[in-house]
Amino acid sequence: MSRYSVFRLFREGLRNQTGWTRAWRDPDPKPAYDVIIIGGGGHGLASAYYLAREHGITNVAVLERGQIGLGNVGRNTTIVRSNYLFPENNLFYEKSLQLWEGLEQDLNFNVMMSQRGVINLYHSDSQRDAYARRGNSMRLNGIDAELLDREQVRALVPVLDFDNARFPIQGGLIQRRGGTARHDAVAWGLARGADRLGVDIIQNCEVTGIRREGDRVVGVETTRGYIAAPKIGIAVAGHTTQVASMAGVRIPIESHLLQAFVSEAVKPVLDHVVTFGAGHFYISQSDKGGLVFGGGLDGYNSFAQRGTLPEAEHVINEGVALMPLLSRLRVLRQWAGVMDMTFDGTPLICKTPVRGLYVNGGWCYGGFKAVPGSGWCFAHTVAKDEPHALNAAMTIERFRDGGMIDEKGAGPFPWLH
Amino acid sequence: MLRIDCPWCGTRDEAEFKYGGDATAKRPPAEGDGAAFYEFVYDRGNPKGWHQEWWHHVAGCRQWLKVVRHTVTHEIRSVAKATDDVTVPPA
Amino acid sequence: MSAPDRLSPFGPEAKPGRHGAAGGTPVLMTERKVDIVQVMAGRDANAKAANLVKDATGLALPGPRKVEIAGDAMAIWIQPSGWLVIRPRGEEGALAKKLGGSDDIAVVDQGHGRCVLRLTGAHAGEVLAKGSRVDLHPRVFPPGSVATTSIDHITVMIVKLDAVPSFDLVLPSNFAEAFLDWLRMSAAEFGYEIRPAA
Ligand SMILES: Cc1cc2nc3c(=O)[nH]c(=O)nc-3n(C[C@H](O)[C@H](O)[C@H](O)COP(=O)(O)OP(=O)(O)OC[C@H]3O[C@@H](n4cnc5c(N)ncnc54)[C@H](O)[C@@H]3O)c2cc1C
Ligand SMILES: [Zn+2]
């Protein structure tokens, strides 16, 4: 496992790229580990990485049912930001954004982190006030935010339809440090980084049961045999309720579909990430030139990993209302991921009623930006058997105790968040 | 695209309906304790398989319907009136 | 003294005349001047509602997906225990008053809330089919059928009147103008004629 560098690239160029080796090992599972992380998506890999790096716990296995990078971590629209209203969220996501800012150096891997700025548009006076409030809340917590008027937005993103009859653009809230990162590169970089610190990344290993002795966990049944561990962390995104129920733990999450779309490549037209305030729609342009966009959920419980046409039509309608030039482009690719939707739109990073069993899930639409922060907090929670201050509110008990963190104010309906 | 066979209107596209979530959640009596309400509001089976769910035929007869649908294949096994009891196939 | 003529919910653009492709058989569009009353029966009150409507209008109340037509009056099934009674416009509010209602039967005047557009001509079905998810083929949607659906995001009741085919479209008045926009676009390739309201 050698370091990647410009010199390395140059040398390999001279010898026909023959000197590259695999980026992480492909070990067989050992009979026992100190910690097992179930799920090799962004969150599972980051958790293992920070367990090793921050807490010196390296006897760790990440068990992945399929292959690294094929879950939501490789299916999202790659938006990274920390522009939340509530401090329980914005402080956590800000920690994550700060980790993103140093991640490439930490991992010695190019995740194509691009802080191009995220602009949330507003289309009415009340929406402007809501964004002003959100921006103030962010600044109070030391996070960058700036309210732009219509002309300031126009200077940055001239291609939008500012005079849409129904939804004229009045301005936007920009977080300049927000942006995008290449999603599967993040998975590969974290897998390589964790592997180098001694973590076993075990692919094609599905967890089929969680073994308990009394009120604590002792190991997992898998398609590659039984593996023992006193601490088990669940980070399986859309399958959180399925895996938690293997240990008899019920979690307030429903699984729903979210689609993403990529257009044919065009010359640069969009330098920022832009979200439409009059619907649920967000768009950016990839380095290859494709416009990457998405919208809301398909709207009913699903594990199908494929989107349906009515929502695709709806998303594209929104896109055309915001950015009329989209109507002239072809959609090249479309896909969907299974989202772990909580009842208040905020995630869970916490202990469970079963000792030694921890949950990291409920990421809804927004878990990609959380990857390093969530891994960092989950590693802390697992290592110390207690949450860090940043994730102390992200518990299962908050639903019972009235501590919901409902940014959208949508109420206890997972498909509306 | 789901095609939902409304017992009142006939088979219609999902675009005419609004989703209403898990149809097995039962509201406890008003004097029920906190735990019962917690279950009613937050505790869902979220099955990977057959799911009983509410759909409202908003752009049709405006009736609430109870649909049995598979959450992986999206196959719809039955559509019943809100007051009907339905049977759910084994996983 | 008579009330002034109502403004058409279809807006100023709905001027009588021939539009779209020339030649062929145009689709005819006519705003119908009607009274519309909604009748909703409470639990176990369907028979009572049927008697009420029969006495007041001579119309029988139809079952699901059906319309009862007698001359230029009709009763449309809209949902379980719910119907619309429609007939040529008379004195404002008179039909609702005549129907009355009771503790278990709600009668609501919809004469301003909804409106009716008649669409007739050989291509009328094709015009609707472009925006409708309902199968309008005569085999499954014969005269006397009704379907509530949405076209261009607007809820519309499609009543099939005869084999021409002719349809009465019952629309929310506040979306009538937007609906007509869509309808004109859809009908342009066949040619269409807007007739004076009747
Ligand atoms: C279309 C789309 C767009 C999105 N856009 C954004 C965005 O712009 N910004 C943002 O911040 N977030 C976005 N998200 C959300 C983000 O992608 C997810 O919240 C996040 O990736 C979920 O965490 P993960 O990476 O760990 O999930 P995953 O990559 O899905 O990892 C979970 C893994 O668990 C494995 N697993 C499941 N069951 C088992 C088992 N029994 N045994 C072993 N392994 C198992 C799965 O195979 C999977 O690989 C988007 C998501 C989607 C689908
Ligand atoms: Zn119906």
pLDDT tens-place string over residues A255-278: 999 999 999 999 999 999 999 999
Distance C176 CA to ligand 1 centre (A): 45
Indicate whether A284 belongs to any domain. Answer: yes
C137 and C41 in a common domain? no
Q: Coil, helix or strand for A229?
A: coil
C103 and C76 in a common domain? yes
Residue by residue, pLDDT tens for chain C (198 residues) are 456 667 899 998 888 999 999 988 999 999 999 999 999 999 999 999 999 999 999 999 999 999 999 999 999 999 999 999 999 999 999 999 999 989 999 999 999 999 999 999 999 999 999 999 899 999 999 999 999 999 999 999 999 999 999 999 999 999 999 999 999 999 999 999 999 999
C187 and C127 in a common domain? yes
Distance C145 CA to ligand 2 centre (A): 14
Token pair listed for A352 = 């469970």
A262 and A170 in a common domain? yes
C157 and C137 in a common domain? yes
C170 and C135 in a common domain? yes
**What amino acid is encoded at A281 in this protein?**
F
Indicate whether A5 belongs to any domain. Answer: no
CA pair distance A148, C38, nearest whole angstrom: 50
Chain A stretch 238-297, residues whose beta carbon is closer than 8 A to a beta carbon of chain B: 239, 241-242, 250, 252-255
Indicate whether C5 belongs to any domain. Answer: no
A391 and A271 in a common domain? no
A174 and A140 in a common domain? yes
pLDDT at A16: 94
What is the number of the ligand 1 atom nearest to the C-alpha of A63?
A: 43
**CA–CA–CA angle A373, A378, A384 (5° rounding):** 130
Average of pLDDT values for A363-389? 97
A269 and A174 in a common domain? yes
CA pair distance C158, C155, nearest whole angstrom: 10
CA pair distance C152, C27, nearest whole angstrom: 19
How many residues would you count in chain B?
91
A302 and A353 in a common domain? no
Indicate whether A96 belongs to any domain. Answer: no
Q: What is the CATH number of the domain that holds C97?
A: 3.30.70.1520
Start-end of H helices in A246-390 = 309-322, 371-384
Q: What is the CATH number of the domain that holds C29?
A: 3.30.1360.120
A281 and A244 in a common domain? no
Task: Suggest the residue from B3, B19, B46 to mutate for an interface test with chain A (most A CBs closer than 10 A).
Answer: B46
pLDDT at C24: 87
Indicate whether C6 belongs to any domain. Answer: no
Domain boundary at A281, A307, A341, which?
A341
CB contact (8 A) between residue C80 and residue B16: no
C151 and C190 in a common domain? yes
C189 and C158 in a common domain? yes
The subunits that touch chain A, with at least 3 C-beta pairs less than 8 Å apart, are B
Pairing of strands A231-234, A357-361: parallel
C87 and C158 in a common domain? no
Domain boundary at C74, C109, C144, which?
C109
Give A61's Cβ-side CA count (13 Å radius): 31
Residue ranges for chain B with pLDDT beneath 70: none
Tens of pLDDT, residues A128-181: 999 999 999 999 999 999 999 999 999 999 999 999 999 999 999 999 999 999
Backbone angles phi, psi at C47, to 5 degrees: -65, -40
For residues B17 and A413, the answer to whether their CB atoms sit within 8 Å is no
Task: State the residue range of the domain holding A330.
Answer: 114-179+254-341
For residues A57 and A35, the answer to whether their CB atoms sit within 8 Å is yes
Indicate whether C2 belongs to any domain. Answer: no
A286 and A379 in a common domain? no
C98 and C124 in a common domain? no
CB contact (8 A) between residue B15 and residue C150: yes
A337 and A288 in a common domain? yes
Q: CA nearest B43: which of B65, B28, B55? A: B28
CB contact (8 A) between residue C64 and residue B62: no
Which residues contact residue A269 at a Cβ distance below 8 angstroms, ignoring those fewer than 6 apart?
A159, A285, A291, A325
pLDDT at C3: 60
For residue A235, the tally of other CB atoms under 10 A from its CB is 30
Rg of chain B in Å (alpha carbons): 14
Tell me if chain C has a CB within 8 Å of the CB of B62: yes
pLDDT at A383 over 80: yes
pLDDT at A197 over 90: yes
Indicate whether C24 belongs to any domain. Answer: yes
pLDDT at A251: 96
C170 and C124 in a common domain? yes
Indicate whether A225 belongs to any domain. Answer: yes
Indicate whether A87 belongs to any domain. Answer: no
CB contact (8 A) between residue B42 and residue A399: yes
For residues A113 and A179, the answer to whether their CB atoms sit within 8 Å is yes
Domain boundary at C78, C109, C140, which?
C109
C173 and C126 in a common domain? yes
Domain count, chain C: 2
Backbone angles phi, psi at A101, to 5 degrees: -65, -25
pLDDT at B71: 97
Average of pLDDT values for A323-333? 96
Indicate whether C1 belongs to any domain. Answer: no
Q: What is the CATH number of the domain that holds A241?
A: 3.50.50.60
Domain boundary at C109, C127, C157, which?
C109
Contacts by C95-99, CB closer than 8 A, 24 or more apart:
C95/C35, C95/C37, C95/C56, C95/C57, C96/C35, C96/C37, C98/C56, C99/C37, C99/C39, C99/C52, C99/C53, C99/C56, C99/C57
Domain boundary at A284, A306, A341, which?
A341
Task: State the residue range of the domain holding C45.
Answer: 34-109
Chain C stretch 100-129, residues whose beta carbon is closer than 8 A to a beta carbon of chain B: none
Q: Which residue in B has a C-alpha nearest to residue A306's C-alpha?
A: B72
Tens of pLDDT, residues A206-239: 999 999 999 999 999 999 999 999 999 999 999 9
Q: Which domains does chain B show, CATH number per domain? A: 3-26+35-81 (3.30.2270.10)
Q: What is the CATH number of the domain that holds A270?
A: 3.30.9.10
Indicate whether A9 belongs to any domain. Answer: no
A209 and A155 in a common domain? no
C39 and C70 in a common domain? yes
Tell me if chain B has a CB within 8 Å of the CB of C134: yes
Query: Residue whose CA is closest, atom 41 of ligand 1?
Result: A207
A74 and A50 in a common domain? yes
CB contact (8 A) between residue B63 and residue C80: yes
CB contact (8 A) between residue B42 and residue A415: no
For residues A60 and A29, the answer to whether their CB atoms sit within 8 Å is no
Domain count, chain A: 2
Indicate whether A169 belongs to any domain. Answer: yes
Domain boundary at A341, A357, A376, which?
A341
A199 and A120 in a common domain? no
pLDDT at B1: 86
Any ligand 1 atom below 6 A from CB of A43:
yes
Indicate whether C97 belongs to any domain. Answer: yes
Task: Suggest the residue from B62, B63, B64, B65 to mutate for an interface test with chain C (most C CBs closer than 10 A).
Answer: B62
Q: Which residue in C has a C-alpha nearest to residue B14's C-alpha?
A: C133
Give the helix, strand, coil percentages of chain A, each rounded to 5: 35, 25, 40
A333 and A290 in a common domain? yes
pTM for the whole structure = 0.94
Indicate whether A217 belongs to any domain. Answer: yes
CA pair distance A342, A395, nearest whole angstrom: 11
CA pair distance A303, A248, nearest whole angstrom: 21
pLDDT at C73: 95
Indicate whether C136 belongs to any domain. Answer: yes
Any ligand 1 atom below 6 A from CB of A81:
no
